[in-house]
Amino acid sequence: MRYLFTLLFIITSLQSFPQDKGREVKGQLTIDGNKRSFLTYIPNTTKPGKVPLVLSLHGGFASPKGMFKLANFKPVADKGQFIVICPASKRIWHDGNDDSGIDDVKFIGKLIDYAIDNYNIDPKRVYVTGISNGGFMTARLACQLNERIAGIAIVAATLDIGEGYDLKRPMPALYIHGTKDPIVSYDGGKLFGRKIYSHDAIVQKWVTLDGCLPDPVLTELPDVADDGTSILKAEYQNPKNGMKVLSYTVFNGGHTWPNGKQYLPTFIIGKTSRNLDACQEIWNFFKQYKLGH
């Protein structure tokens, strides 16, 4: 009997402390005299060879720690064996086209170099995702750093119209947007004095650029949460090379990350849908692609 209790204690202890839990590492680079910080999540893995990198960009006035709480890629990274880096903006993201003196495109480029040199990253498997201001920055990187990125996933954001931005290189792209987003309108229009594409318009730009068939495969995701939201997935594909553009319309969804933290009350940012695990879905999308394929 004593042996049985000891065995049960050992089993319970092993279950309480997962063996595959990774670690967070703080880092810093200096870009044009500005100190830039970032937070890296490294899964505990024995997988040999080079590993993928997911850059996860927080929204305006947020932080890397906050982004990990909002979009928790850690368990997905543990299972998929990839590294996640959440860089920190200087309050908001800049792309070098303004007079702020901050060039975040250069910062992200140097951060990719750092990750390749220090974490055995596969340079052909670098992906970028982001929400809100971080989503717009992701789109700008797709315009200005496209030769280094294998795929993008954007939540609650689109792309500025004009402003020197243009989509140039075909790239797998995934967009998630709530129809009741009170901050970045699903229908586009004006945002803080800028003109932005609607969700449908930016998806169609990618569909054309990627050479996808115009008629998507439509799927209504199961309403497993019964939380007042529903999701329509539209999948566009280029049959010659397998490249895809995915659109997720979150009906009655807000300025939120599906299955993420409800970081502000619903009456301010709208509802967070529980009918889609955005982190898992984004990784499922990314892992199909690498540069040159």
* pTM, 2 dp: 0.92
When pLDDT is averaged across residues 267-293 and rounded to a whole number, the result is: 96
Mean pLDDT confidence for 111-140: 97
Average pLDDT over residues 24-46: 93
Q: Is there a domain that residue 4 lies in?
A: no
Residue 184 covered by a domain? yes
Domain membership flag for residue 174: yes
Domain that holds residue 279: 20-286
Q: How many domains does the chain have?
A: 1
- How sure is the predictor about 144, in pLDDT bands with cuts at 50, 70 and 90? very high
User: Is the per-residue pLDDT at 12 higher than 70?
Assistant: no
Q: How large is the C-alpha radius of gyration of the chain?
A: 20
The pLDDT score that the predictor gives to residue 166 is 85
How does residue 18 score in pLDDT terms, banded at 50, 70 and 90?
very low
Residue 196 has pLDDT above 70, yes or no: yes
Please report whether residue 62 resides in a domain.
yes
Whether the Cβ atoms of residue 62 and residue 265 lie closer than 8 Å to each other: no
Quote the percentage of the chain above a pLDDT of 70: 90
For the residues 17-40, what does the mean pLDDT come to? 86
Q: Which band of pLDDT confidence, cut at 50, 70 and 90, is reported for residue 16?
A: very low
Task: Give the per-residue pLDDT at 46.
Answer: 55
Q: For residue 83, give the CATH number of its domain.
A: 3.40.50.1820
Is the model's pLDDT at 138 over the cut of 70?
yes
**251 part of a folded domain:** yes
**What is residue 7's predicted lDDT score, i.e. its pLDDT?**
32
Residue 174 clears pLDDT 80, i.e. is over it: yes
pLDDT of residue 2 exceeding 90:
no
Would you say residue 14 lies in a domain? no
Residues 32-64 as b/e (b if ≥16 CB within 10 A, e otherwise) read eeeebebbbbbbebeeeeebbbbbbbbbbebeb
Is 5 a member of any domain?
no
- Phi, psi dihedral angles at 287 (to 5 degrees): -65, -10
Q: Examine the pLDDT at 15 and tell me if it is beyond 80.
A: no
